[in-house]
Amino acid sequence: MENTHISELLAAYAEGELAAPEHALADAHLAVCAECRAGLEDVSIGLRAVAELPLTTAPDAVWNAIGRELDRRADRRRAARWLAAAAALLIVATAVWYVRRTPGERWEVEGIASLHSVGVGDWIETGPMAEAKIKVGSIGTVDMTPHTRLRVITAKPLEHRLSLVSGRIHARITAPPRLFFVDTAAGAAVDLGCEYDLVCDREGNGYLRVMQGWVSYEWQGKESLVPAGASCRTRAGHAPGTPFFDDAPAGFSEALARFDGDGSALPALLATARQRDTLTLWHLLTRVTTEADRLRVFERMVSFAPLPPGVSRDHVLSLDRAALRQWREELAWTW
């Protein structure tokens, strides 16, 4: 699965039909392959759309009209085509009505005596000694620690979205990628099937720490991909911080904090990097501001991991998106 796509497994993956070893390998591949994640999202949307269409009985007037039309037509094949078209039209009309009229879900809440469920637009706030648990539809849970305030933005089968104003949450999500989102003043945490902590102070600054799976932290077209065991710092009104592994040497994480703050400390950052820190270095390729600095980052990376077949030095230094993605997918097996 390292070098090939898993298109033929996506339906079984979405339906939970893969054996545990295959499921684990698919998880690992999806974490690093944007093309297969997009395919899984398409498959999931189709499966959910079919599952959500309600069984319905057409009004008698519809069937009476169909019957009268059939009686008037001697050509049975033409009648069959008309019936099929009418049935298809009824299904499409029902689906459109259902999508437009289905109200947002309500999610169960535990830990707040006066609040048992929430829907779109509702606020949830915990006091100095209180905690709460939100059951996010059927895809997971969100634990709120004391002094946390958030709001439900969207509660639909294909989009579950919260806005974290301040405090700390712990999310456990078991769903296809990009169904669960948490907005903050510093961007949006996009779930790729995972477990994570998200912290945000009243100014919108904080951090993301991932325990399982992957999270994409996104802001104005910029992205930090954070795998299990890694974190990134967040600042309101700025691009998400560069991801780093939590076990990184102290000198490395301190240098990264300075780099994210004002662009300094790149030499110290490169000098203290380990092989595993290619996670951070890969992100730095697009974040340094000069070609000379990009070359320094590149040379440090290839000292740890050679370029994969088909990817050249020029591809990387010119920030060719396909080449960068291919190298990341190769590196991710060591992260």
pLDDT of 101 higher than 70: no
Same domain, 158 and 115: yes
Same domain, 174 and 228: yes
Same domain, 95 and 171: no
CATH number at residue 217: 2.60.120.1440
Same domain, 186 and 118: yes
Same domain, 196 and 312: no
Each residue of 238-259: b (16+ CB within 10 Å) or e? Answer: bbbbbbbbeebeeebbebbeeb
State the total domains in the chain. 4
Same domain, 111 and 217: yes
Residue 216 lies in a domain: yes
Same domain, 36 and 158: no
CB 109 within 8 A of CB 124: yes
Q: pLDDT by residue (tens digit) across 175-202?
A: 999 999 999 999 999 999 899 999 999 8
Determine the Cα–Cα distance for residues 66 and 246; give it in Å rounded to an integer. Answer: 67
**Residue 283 belongs to domain spanning:** 249-335
Higher pLDDT: 90 or 139? It is 139
**3-state secondary structure string, 160-223?**
EEEEEEEEEEEEEECCCCCCEEEEECCEEEEECCCEEEEEECCCCCEEEEEEECEEEEEECCEE
Same domain, 169 and 261: no
Same domain, 119 and 233: yes
Domain boundary among 211, 241, 271: 241
CB 297 within 8 A of CB 277: no
Residue 2 lies in a domain: no
Same domain, 188 and 93: no
Give the number of other Cβ atoms within 10 Å of residue 231's Cβ: 22
Same domain, 203 and 257: no
| Mean pLDDT computed over every residue of the chain | 84
Residue 208 lies in a domain: yes
Domain boundary among 215, 241, 267: 241
What integer is the mean pLDDT of 314-318?
97
CB 127 within 8 A of CB 100: no
Residue 19 lies in a domain: yes
Q: pLDDT by residue (tens digit) across 211-256?
A: 999 999 999 999 999 999 999 999 998 889 999 999 999 999 999 9
Residue 198 lies in a domain: yes
- Among 32-36, 114-118, 232-236, 320-324, which is the least confidently predicted range? 32-36
Residue 115 lies in a domain: yes
What integer is the mean pLDDT of 63-74?
53
Same domain, 122 and 217: yes
Residue 1 lies in a domain: no
Residue 148 lies in a domain: yes
